Chain A
Amino acid sequence: MAQEQLIISIGREFGSGGHLIAEMVAEHFHLPLYDYNLLQEIAAGKNIDVSNLKKYDELPRRRFFHRTVKGHHSSPEVNIAQMQFDFIRQKASEGESFVIVGRCAEEVLKGHDALVALFINGDHDKKLERIKKLYNLNHEDAEALMQTTNRKRKNYHNHFCTTKWGDSRNYELCINASRIGYEETAEIIESYICHRFPDLDLV
């Protein structure tokens, strides 16, 4: 029986080009890409303003000043994250194929037959150069932004998951995109997926 569903989860370091690679892979397989727009989809479904949700996207809960009562959390960060996890699970259970960037997808969908979990990292200098160029920042500001964003992603991931962010044991492939380039990395991923699912026949 042909493999009709494909879910590609891509974790990434800030500045590694993971998002760009996710776009290329999604385009190659003609799949929808979920990233920041995930909240847009959720907001549209609930008929609410997405700007209310965006400020809590991919953030860990505060270490103190939160409380849990009968499974209810006071932290908006936790609630928004759970909302996204539920959305991802629902899409996966409905048989939809998609590429998802971040949002702990490799843990949320762990064990799903159609899941391919990847992590993209990069060399420090290359990541810094990319951030400087993309955000038009000087060296110090780019360095600070990279460190802050990576720390937030790590804290977010490690708070909601039992596994550690970037730990190779959680992913099928971990690739340093700085070494071979973004397009080449995307090609390797595409090739890997074709080998992983030789009978891939997306509906």
Chain B
Amino acid sequence: MEHGLNITYLLRRCDAFLIYTVTKEVCEMPVEQIVAIVIFVIMFALVITEKIEKHITTLICGAAMMLFVFGFCMGWNFEMMWSVLSLESVTHLGFWYGHADHGAGIDWATIIFLAGMMVMVEGMAKAGFFRWLCMTLAKLVKYKVLPIFLVFMVMSACLAMFIDSITVILFLAAVTIELAHLLKFNPVPMILAEIFCANLGGSATMCGDPPNIIIGSALNLSFFDFLSNTGLIAAVSLVFIVLYFYLCFRKQYAQAGKDVDVSSMPDPASVITDKRGFFISIGIFLVVVVLLITHSSTQLSVATIGVVSAVLTLVGSPKSAGHILKLVDYKTLLFFIGLFIVVGGLQNTGVLDIIAAWISSICGDNLMLMIAIIIWISGIASAFIDNIPFATIMVPIIETLSGGNVPMLHTLAYSLAMGTDIGGSATPIGASANVVGVSVASKAGYPIGWGQYCRYMAPATLIVMTISTVAIWLMAGLLTF
């Protein structure tokens, strides 16, 4: 057969060309870029395989980035090392009050805010707030399963706007299982819906999901910026999602729990372990919500709000302060620190500029295509890998892509936020809330496999991703014209 008609031969030629092009590109790269990419790939592989604890992996890779890239490859560039550590940023007034310029490196504002919120949430959990809220709402709807299903979805989304979705699902799933035993229904559909709504609620605000904190903090976006953009999309999506899950499970839940005597149900007040702590924690939560909503007017940074929430919680419960501090997830904070150093290495060596140039070469000046690519690539990637490293890498990339055009940068930021926050819902491993929800259900004797999970969650993800794409297109269209 002629070579020109032989498809196998053509494919081999294409493969050879691709390998040649990639090899040529790599050979032309400065050595520091190659080393930075190798360190990042090793870090990502180790994080995915979980052979070593995640925070140890990122810290070692961060140290390797410092030593090999900024040290050996770049001639011991101490100035760059110092800028990646960003320790000086904490001493600037703008870090605590007003606006701070965010460079490549550790985003201490995100770390401090996360730590503060962890302290506050631990205080609330200890006082029994979450169980009380779930039980109160269940009582309000007279322990009818279908209304509980709908109310818990909305509650999950609302709580996740201000509290990390892991905590929301940890308590909500546990209460759902407890109610399932008492009211004799299958808790799996309800837990799945709660997980999805927690991820959706998290996308609505700057503090709802770690990628949003990273994006918002790096690009100086306010709580209100998120609320009026991703919040609006999340609110519209929530209506569709509640309807979607209702249609999926209405038959299963319509008759459930009808023969159960609800007079024996536990009194919501009985789950409060510490009355004084309970009211204090609600007060602190409300103060923090107000501070977050008004932080663009008060000029208080998220770092300051994090410190305020932690201090108020610890001062409000002095006896439990030590215990609460012990419960803070330091491993996650260390994971973030290591991750920021590695991404800082990629940014300072220009690797992220190459990726931005590559995306730009595909999209050209077509903002709509760029939005779609950012949302869907972020979404698909987040369905299988941790969305936090992904968002951290993508922030400098969208900054480069926007070329200093602020409205365009914000549009891309919301695209990235929706993609990373929502895409993770599609699979059991996509987001932390999914893992926790699936685990809580499995431990209670309701194992959820990939098939069962994706059957309901993947279509829901597609629905919200589509709504997000259309909504951000419309927003971008309004900006353009």
Contacts and interface: CB of A to CB of B under 8 A. Distances in A.
A196 interface: no
Interface of A: 42-43, 46-48, 52-53, 56, 64-70, 72-74, 76, 79-80, 82-83
A65 B434 CA distance: 13
Interface string B166-185: 10000000000000010000
Contacts of B449: 76
B443 A79 contact: yes
Contacts of B432: 69-70
Interface of B: 48, 50, 166, 181, 329, 332, 384, 386, 427-429, 432, 434-436, 438-440, 442-450
B50 A65 contact: no
Contacts of A70: 166, 329, 332, 432, 436
A168 to B, nearest CB: 28
A80 B438 contact: no
Contact of A73 (B166, B181, B435): B435
B435 A67 contact: yes
Nearest to B427: A65
A155 B429 CA distance: 22
A73 B332 CA distance: 16
A69 B436 contact: yes
A65 B429 CA distance: 7
A13 B181 CA distance: 38
B21 to A, nearest CB: 29
Contacts of B384: 65
B445 A42 contact: yes
Contacts of B438: 74, 76
Contacts of B434: 74
A48 B185 CA distance: 11
A83 B443 contact: yes
A162 to B, nearest CB: 15
Contacts of B48: 64
Given A47-B181, A67-B50, A70-B166, A76 B435 contact: no
Contact of B429 (A42, A53, A67, A76): A67
Please indicate which of the listed interface residues B384, B436, B438, B450 has the most CB atoms of chain A within 10 Å of its own CB: B438
A79 B442 contact: yes
B447 A74 contact: no
Complex A-B, nearest 10 residue pairs according to Cβ-Cβ distance, in ascending order: A79-B442, A76-B447, A72-B439, A48-B445, A67-B429, A69-B435, A74-B435, A69-B432, A74-B428, A46-B445
Contacts of A79: 439, 442-443, 447
A80 B181 CA distance: 19
A80 B439 CA distance: 10
Given A67-B50, A70-B166, A74-B429, A46 B436 contact: no
Kindly name the residue among B447, B449, B450 whose own CB sees the greatest number of chain A CB atoms within 10 A: B447
A22 B439 CA distance: 32
Contacts of B332: 70
Contact of B436 (A66, A72, A83): A72
A74 B386 CA distance: 13
Given A74-B434, A76-B442, A79-B442, A56 B428 contact: no
Nearest to A79: B442
Contacts of A69: 166, 432, 435-436, 439
Given A76-B447, A76-B449, A68 B435 contact: yes
Contacts of B442: 73, 76, 79-80, 83
Contacts of A76: 438, 442, 447-449
B450 A65 contact: yes
Contacts of A47: 181
B446 A72 contact: no
Given A70-B166, A70-B329, A52 B436 contact: no
14 contacts: A48-B446, A53-B447, A65-B384, A65-B450, A66-B429, A67-B429, A69-B432, A69-B435, A69-B439, A70-B436, A74-B429, A74-B435, A82-B443, A83-B445
